[in-house]
Amino acid sequence: MDNETKHALHAAAREGKLRVVESLLNADPKQARKKDDDGRLPLHWAASSNQLEIVLLLSQQKDFDPDAENLVCQDDIGWTPLMIAASVKDNEKLVELLLSRGADVNQTNHNGQTALHFVASKSNLEVARLLLDSKPPASARVRDKRGQYALHRAAAAGSVPMKLLLTHDNDTGATAVALLKAGADTDKKDSDGFLALDLAPDKEVRKYIEREAENEGIEL
């Protein structure tokens, strides 16, 4: 059996061939749980090409168990379907679907990154909001193996998600100080004309950031 035939369901999921996926699943539902040579399930590939109907179909299989296998399944580099979905364009409905089916919003890949890290670097406010408002919510306090928070990525991209991350983070002050120490721009404004410091959730947090910045010799 050649590789194309062996992983026909993966290919159909990636290419958005809904009827082929339906036919293959009817013939052998267990194919939905088989990994290809990249360690990916058909669900990974459907997510990578933003195939909402196919993701829905795969997640409706009788033996679909998000906690045991499907949605927490990592490929060979540690990516879950949710991480992949968070990295593609026009993906709000797909991310929402995966979250509703039990995807782990705080799972990390082999580099220690969560879905929020990828969203933060792509200026995708709507998906960031979905992740941060999920239950349990995405944590903005997860550092990857380079020591970066999702907020570092947002700042590096000069993106609006900076605002969203700041207002949702439970430890905003500490995160903001860490970002400043890492060299974040203090005079860059978002699309509404606000500086990052202007977006502190309250006066006390702002005072804390200003005090710690002064202690570190950082000019705001």
> What are the pLDDT digits (tens) for 157-179?
776 545 555 455 545 676 677 77
Per DSSP, 31 falls in state: G
pLDDT digits (tens, 9 = 90+) for 9-56: 999 999 999 999 999 999 998 888 889 999 999 999 999 999 999 999
Strands (E), the chain: none
More confident residue, 209 or 29: 29
Evaluate whether 1-104 and 115-220 have a shared fold. yes
Ranges of each domain in the chain: 1-104, 115-220
What CATH class has 115-220? mainly alpha
CATH superfamily of 1-104: Ankyrin repeat-containing domain (1.25.40.20)
Please give the Cα distance from 197 to 208 (Å, whole number).
Answer: 11
- Would you say residue 123 has pLDDT above 90? no
